[in-house]
């Protein structure tokens, strides 16, 4: 099974990379861009997709400051993915 995990800073958490991108865009001629957030994408192949939540909580994401979203790629029933962020 292939899966994709999108990890991004939680709302309200300082995102220095996002700030840097937001400040650089006008210098390159792009205007009207606000609230830029930079995250990361992890793609992996695994035999037991039910382990993904634990993988995200223990290693792939920092649940204190990051949200993550899991998308199963080879699953014909994967419509929207599952949000692993628990509040």
Domain positions in the chain are 2-83
Q: Has this prediction a pTM greater than 0.85? A: no
In the chain, which ranges are E strands?
2-9, 40-45, 66-72, 82-83
| CA 1 to mean position of chain CA atoms | 19
Contact 7, 61 (CB under 8 A): yes
**C-alpha pair distances (Å), 46 with each of 49, 52, 72:** 6, 9, 10
| CA 28 to mean position of chain CA atoms | 26
Q: What is the residue-level pLDDT of the chain in tens, covering all 87 positions?
A: 999 999 999 999 999 999 999 999 999 999 999 999 999 999 999 999 999 999 999 999 999 999 999 999 975 554 444 445 443
Looking at the domain covering 2-83, what would its CATH class be?
Answer: alpha beta
């Amino acid at each position: 099974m292939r899966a994709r995990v999108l990890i991004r800073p939680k709302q309200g958490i300082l995102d220095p990379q996002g700030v840097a991108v937001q400040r650089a865009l006008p210098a390159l001629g792009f205007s009207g861009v606000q609230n830029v957030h930079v995250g990361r994408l992890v793609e992996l192949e695994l035999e037991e997709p039910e382990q993904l939540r634990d993988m995200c909580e223990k290693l792939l994401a920092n649940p204190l400051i990051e949200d993550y979203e899991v998308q199963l790629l080879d699953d014909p029933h994967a419509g929207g993915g599952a949000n692993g962020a628990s509040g």
